[in-house]
Every structure is written in structure tokens, then in C-alpha cells.
Amino acid sequence: MGEIWNVPEIFGSDVFNEAVMQQRLSPEVYRAWKNSISTGKALELPVANEIAEAMKVWAIEHGATHFTHWFQPMTGITAEKHDSFIEPTGDGKVIMAFSGKELVQGESDASSFPSGGLRATFEARGYTAWDPTAFAFVKDGSLYIPTCFFSYTGAALDKKTPLLRSIDEISREAIRILRLFGDQETQRIISCVGAEQEYFLLPRDLYAQREDLRLTGRTLFGAPAPKGQEMGDHYYGTIRTRVSSFMKDLDEQLWRLGVLSKTKHNEVAPCQHEMAPIYTDVNTACDNNQLIMEIMKKCAAKHNLVCLLHEKPFAGVNGSGKHNNWSLSTDTGRNLFSPGKTPRQNAQFLVFLAAFLKGVDEYQDFLRSTVAFAGNDHRLGANEAPPAIISIFLGDELTAVVDSIINGTNYTDPEKSLMRIGVDVLPAIPKDTTDRNRTSPLAFTGNKFEFRMLGSSQSIAGPNIALNTIMAEELGKFADILESAPDFHAALQKLVCDTFTEHQRIIFNGNGYSSEWMLEAANRGLSNYPASNTSLISYDDPKNIDLVTRRGIFSREEFHARYQIHLATYAKTIRIEARTMVDMIRKQILPAVYAYTSALAKGVAAKQTLGLPHKAETDLLQRLGRSADRLYETCEALNSHIAFSPEGALEQANYCHDVLMRDMKHARKDADLLEQLTDKSYWPYPTYSDLLFY
Ligand code: ADP
Ligand code: MG
């Protein structure tokens, strides 16, 4: 405490970044590396050898003894296997060695990672390959090398590989559009993301007393505390000392790793907080978000806290999400979603806007499925997070522009002739509209789109793969039309106008939480998948399979594997929760109620013999008895339903949703009632008021 940090000095100090490379590599090797990034070509072995040597020397200076190929399997979190640098010299001593081959490719036993059928059991090996577009770093005594993870046959077993493919694809198609608008300089389009991360912090000792939190990351039981978030006194409130020392520590570690941690504040729910980094290219943002989640957990432990990344740790209290701010930028730093000042810039902006509206409208089910996780089902549509229906908020100004193009009227003056794209100047679109609509799943916020449906614990790879891919698809189709048009301006006007007209149903600026919107959205034909098991079916839709395979993002098998994995993970998550529930009911809740009721009953018997009034206790005994009986019955039913397991991943997921979750809901109702009726000294675990108002 109290020490002064030189932030610019510590920032990125544990990263083997471009500056370090420039300093430590020979000019030829540095150039070769830069070149391989822009062309995507593999590095020659002598080049890899020199980079490996420089990395090793640097890493050892930074305290590393090991290296690890760091990868992102389809579990949604990261994996690592550490090898030390030691190599025996034959005289009982060792040297520290690291070769280009070890840097570039690794082999890992992949049998315990989900493969969704992509890897036959006899071929359990998986391979990792260095991603030279992401920087290596030192953490906990190891050199971390970001890698892709794939099978013997070359099928992607991870989340990074398809993300990198989608990054190339959007760049390629967006550049075609830029060329049509006369831009010959831009070489690369960068898809940029700033992911705001929400989380809860709880005292470690209280957390340890709850089996549900330990095993499932959320409370499966818990009556509401007498106080909730209704006072709004936590949102942006002063940060308590223990939490602020956690945050300080977190910032330091993240800065060292080159993560642009920028904003921190208290969130709506008690004990809930948020951290937002400054946006970067999406590949880095994705790696960084994994680091953020991991370091949050480790850092919390150091401060005797526990960081919960679950989407819905507490019923009746806001859950946690991740806002994915997404935009496209040229390599010269020009934002393609900025309305711009000249007619030409505006015209280009309208093409990108039209492509986005069309892509989201056509692939709304695909986009929805990228946020379909058991945990996230508890918050989407629960009037605290966006509904499960995808729509786009444009704000009044931009919607008026779109309307005027559709109706052939002038934006500022309805009497005047139509708004001519590429000739007229768009009105200034305020960057921060005052009526920021918090209920929209996908909001235009001045120069970027904020996708707000992501769950707090999920990898941001999936949603960004989808955003990049649908955008690439639509821009590509637009480019096909415009490149071959005899009259560019006429074609442009027609294309933008037709696209807005056909896809305006996806625009919605109203209250996404309202029941009218559910009806209205259904009338508009927008898809609505309230739960993951139904949403995930979109992985099986020929339209979506066609999109991802034609765009080279996933092979048919890779896409199908993800479908199977998501279904299986969903079912497993619910099964673990169901078993935990049974365990807690049988071993904790019912025994506590029995103990309390038997004490009460003894008291009643004693009072009876003395002729004293005992109505209160008798009534209570009745109520406790009825609830306990019901809970016992539900618990036994749940337990026998757990034993059944239908064939097929989809059937399994549906069964978990329809049967197990129904039982769990009933069980919780009685358990929470019992909690409210039972003497606190008998209750086996900390309650919501203990946990949230410590
Ligand atoms: P909020 O009011 O939702 O916190 P901010 O404007 O502070 O919104 O930004 C939230 C996130 O969006 C931050 O991570 C920020 O870096 C990111 N962001 C800002 N501009 C862009 C952009 N052009 N592209 C992608 N992300 C951006
Ligand atoms: Mg936000």
C-alpha cells in the first residue's frame, strides 16, 4: 500500500511485444516476423529459431523457467501445459534451451478436451501452433505462447482458429468496398472489440460454506434478502477498501500483461462490479479477456475474496454480462462505423450500416446461438438484461436517416427531394445519445455496435466470429453488385434503399423489456429462443452451415462439433446443478428442518403438559412439515429423473431443460420457504443477506 507506481513503465513489462521484438531481434528477423503477420505466411525455421532464442533470453530475465503453449479449447476457457527450458548437457548439468520448432508447434494430449467427435479416440493427440499475431508474455514463472489448437487432420479444436479465419475474411471483403469508394491505401481492416466485464466478489469464508456456489458457481437456493438492489445505492457507489485493494492489485497485474484496464466501478447489484479495458483488435481482446477472467479469480483469492463470473449467481438480483463493443477500423485508424463529414464518407458509412442490418436480420438465430449457455439463460429476457430476441437500436437520429432513405424523403426537410446517397451530407449523429437504450441487445453507440447479450463467463470468440462472418458475407455480396454496376451511384442508392427497406424490421428503438415488444417482434417475424436448447438448433440450419463453410470459417464437421459440444455442456451443467441440489436437500436442508421441528415439537409437548398456549409453534410446525414433505417428494422425483438419460445430444439437452429444470424450480420454491421459516441458527449455509450484505 502507498507505493507509487510508474504505470507507463510497468505497462506491458511482462509482454514480449513489438517494441521488445524490435529491440531484441535482428532487423531481418524482425521484418520477417512483420511480414508473416501481414501475409499470413509461415515463418522459416531459422527465423523462428532466432525469435525463440530472443524470447527465451527475455523470458528468463523476467523470471521464467518454463514455457507453455497457451490455447483456447472449446471449453471456453484456456488450457496450458508447461515444459521447462532445461536440457541435459550429459555431465549432470543442464542448459536452458528453446528452439524455433518448440515455439512454432507443440503437441498435446487432447483426449480430455471436448472435440465434438472431431477426433477419433485412437488419435488422441492435438497440436498447437504459435499465433504470431498475438504477443507472448510471462506469467507465474512461465513464458506463455498464444497458440491455435487443432487435430491430426487439421480440424480446429479451439476458439482462436475460427476467430483468426473470420478476421481475415472481414478484412478481405471490407477492403473490396473501400476500393469502390476510392481508397487504395488501406491494406487491412481490423475488427476491434472492447469487452466490458461484470463480476461479483464475495468473502471467501462465506462462499466456502455453500456447496452450490463451490460446485456450480451460483446459488441454487436462497430466499430474497430483506433488502435487494432497490435503493440503487451500490451502482457507481464508493468502492469498499477490501474491494478497492483487489482492484488495485488487478490493475497492476493486467497492466504488466499489457491489458488496457481502464474503467472500474460498482454495478447495480450489491457486491457486483465491472471492469472495462480500452478496445483493441479482437484477437488481442479475446486473449486479454481470458486473462482478465483468470486473473480476477486468482487476485480475489489473494484478498480473501471469491470472484464469481457466473451469469446469475443470485436469483432476484441482477446477473452479470459482458458488453461486446465491436467496430471496424482501417489499418490507418479510420473507424468505418463513424458517420463521417463528407458525402462520400457518409455513403460508405451507409453501406456498412446496411450490411450490418441485413446480416443481423438474416442471421439473428446464429448470432443468438453464440450466447446460448445454461448460465446466460437465467438473465436473457429476465428484465435485467436484453431479451432473447435480437434487434438493433439505432437511436432516433439514425433511424430518421434510414426512414428518409426508405421513404425517398429528405432527412431535414420532408418537402425537399430524396436524400441522395453520396451527394447529400448526413446530419451529425450524436456520439452519445442521451436516451441510451439499455434494453437493446445490440445498440449503435455513435461509432460502434454494442452487443449486450454475452454472458459474463463466456469466451468472446463465438459472438465476434459471428459478427465478423455475417459482416463479411453481406459486404461481399454488396461488393459483387457494386463492382459490376454500370452506374455506381445509381446502384449504390438502390442497394442501400432496398436493403434498409427489406431489413427495417430488425430496427427497434423502444423498450425491449416490455411485453408489447414480445408481441410486436413476433408480428415482425423475428426469432425468439428463450432457452439455449432451442437456440442451439441454429447450428443445424442449412442457411448457417452454408454461411460458415462457404466463408471458410468452419468446415461442416467443425461446425457440427461445436453444436454437439454446446448441447453436451448445457446438459452437463444442468445435471451438475441437479445433483448438487439433491445433495444439499438431503444432507443439509431437510436435516436442518428436522432438527428445528423436533426441537419445536418438544417445546409444544412441554407446553401442552403445562397447559400453556402453543398455537404459534403448532402452526409453524404444520407449515414446516408440509413444505418439508413436498420438498422430500420433489427431491426424490428429481433424483430419479437424473438417473434417466435419453439418447442423443439434443434430446438430452431438451430433457434437462424440460424435466430437470422444472423439478429444480419446484424444489427451490419449498427450500426457500423453509429457509424463511426456520430458526437461523439451524440453517446450514449463509443466506442472501449474509452473502450480499457482508
Ligand atoms: P459505456 O458507457 O458503455 O461504458 P464507453 O464509451 O465507455 O461505453 O466504452 C465501453 C467500451 O467500448 C470500452 O471498452 C471502450 O474501449 C470500447 N470502445 C470505445 N470505442 C470503441 C470502438 N470504436 N470500437 C470498439 N470498442 C470501442
Ligand atoms: Mg456498456
For ligand 1, the distance from its centroid to the CA atom of residue 31, given in whole angstroms, is: 32
Closest CA to 309 of 211, 222, 213, 393: 213
- Stretch 624-638: mean pLDDT, rounded? 98
- Averaged pLDDT for residues 78-91: 94
Nearest Cα to 355, choosing from 481, 489, 510? 481
> pLDDT of 249-272, one tens digit each?
999 999 999 999 998 888 878 899
Backbone phi, psi, residue 290, to 5°? -65, -45
Closest protein CA for atom 6 of ligand 1: 445
pLDDT tens-digit readout, 3-30: 677 999 999 999 999 999 999 999 999 9
Residue 433 has pLDDT above 60, yes or no: no
Residue 335 Cβ < 6 Å to ligand 1: yes
Mean pLDDT score, 479-483: 98
Does the Cβ of 500 fall within 6 Å of ligand 1? Answer: no
Distance 124 CA to ligand 1 centre (A): 42
Res 241 pLDDT > 70 = yes
Which ranges constitute the DSSP H helices of 303-455? 343-362, 364-369, 374-377, 395-407
Confidence of residue 1 (pLDDT cuts 50, 70, 90): very low
Percent of the chain with pLDDT strictly greater than 90:
82
Q: For ligand 1, atom 16, which residue shows the shortest CA distance?
A: 278
Instruction: Summarize the confidence of residues 367-379 as an average pLDDT.
Output: 97
Q: Which atom of ligand 1 is nearest to the CA of 329?
A: 23
C-beta separation of 283 from 134 below 8 A: yes
**Ligand 1 neighbourhood includes 196 CB (under 6 angstroms):** yes
| Ligand 1 and 464: CB distance under 6 A | no
Ligand nearest to the CA of 289: 1
**How far, in Å, is the centroid of ligand 2 from the Cα of 437?**
11
Query: What confidence tens digit (pLDDT) does each residue in 314-354 have?
Result: 999 999 999 999 999 999 999 999 988 777 788 999 999 99
Pocket probe for ligand 1: among 190, 279, 431, the residue whose CB has the most ligand atoms within 8 Å is 279
| Ligand lying nearest the CA atom of residue 449 | 1
Task: Compute, in angstroms, the gap from residue 13 CA to the centroid of ligand 2.
Answer: 29
Instruction: Give the list of residues 6+ apart from residue 616 with CB closer than 8 angstroms, or none.
Output: none
pLDDT band at 153 (very low <50, low <70, confident <90, very high): confident
Please measure the distance between the N-terminal and C-terminal CA atoms of the chain and give it in whole angstroms. Answer: 23
Taking only the tens place, the pLDDT of each residue in 393-420 is: 999 888 988 998 998 876 665 555 566 7
C-alpha 550 to ligand 2 mean position (Å): 33
Instruction: Report which protein residue has its CA nearest ligand 1's atom 14.
Output: 194
By the 10 Å C-beta count (0-12 exposed, 13-18 middle, 19+ buried), 293 is classed as: buried
Average pLDDT over residues 473-500: 96
Q: Please give the number of the atom of ligand 1 that sits closest to the Cα of 279.
A: 16
- Alpha carbon 590 to chain centroid, angstroms: 37
Residue 109's DSSP bridge partners are 125
278 in ligand 1 pocket by Cβ < 6 Å? Answer: yes
The pTM of the full predicted model, rounded to 2 decimals, is 0.95
Any residues with CB less than 8 A from the CB of 681 and at least 6 apart, and which? Answer: none
Tens digit of each residue's pLDDT (9 = 90 or more) over 544-559: 999 999 999 999 999 9
Residue 277: what pLDDT?
97
Written as nine digits, the cell of 200 is 461479483
Residue 384 contacts residue 311 (beta carbons within 8 Å): no
The Å distance, Cα 450 to ligand 2 centre, comes to 7
Q: Which residue has the cell 438473465?
A: 379
Cα separation of 677 and 674, whole Å? 5
**Start-end of H helices in 25-159:** 27-39, 45-61, 100-104
**Average pLDDT of every residue of the chain:** 93
| Closest C-alpha residue for ligand 1 atom 17 | 194
Q: Residue 280 Cα, ligand 1 centroid: separation in angstroms?
A: 10
Q: Which of 192, 262, 325 to mutate to test the pocket of ligand 1 (most atoms within 8 A of CB)?
A: 325
- Report whether 135 contacts 22 (CB < 8 A): no
The confidence score (pLDDT) of residue 428 equals 65
Q: How far is the CA of 328 from the centre of ligand 1 (A)?
A: 13
Report whether residue 451 contacts ligand 1, using a CB cutoff of 6 Å. Answer: no
Task: Say how far apart CA 484 and CA 81 lie, in whole Å.
Answer: 52
- What is the Cβ-side half-sphere exposure of residue 112, based on CA atoms within 13 angstroms? 5
How far is it, in rounded angstroms, from Cα 25 to Cα 61? Answer: 16
**Paired sense of beta strands 442-444 and 392-393, if any:** parallel
Of 158-162, 386-390, 457-461, the range with the lowest mean pLDDT is 386-390
Strands 305-308, 442-444: pairing kind? unpaired
CB 11 within 8 A of CB 253: no
User: Ligand 1 pocket, 447 CB below 6 A?
Assistant: yes
CA distance 330 to 306: 40
How much is the pLDDT for 434? 43
The reported pLDDT for the residue numbered 3 is 67
Q: What is the DSSP letter of 79?
A: B
The H or E element spanning position 198 is: strand 189-203
List, for residues 70-83, the tens digit of each pLDDT value. 999 999 899 998 99
Q: How far is the CA of 402 from the centre of ligand 1 (A)?
A: 24
User: Which residues, listed in sequence order, are joined to residue 150 by a DSSP beta bridge?
Assistant: 127, 156
Buried b (16+ CB within 10 A) or exposed e, 251-289: bbbbbbbbbbbeebebbbbbbbbbbbbebbbbbbbbbbb
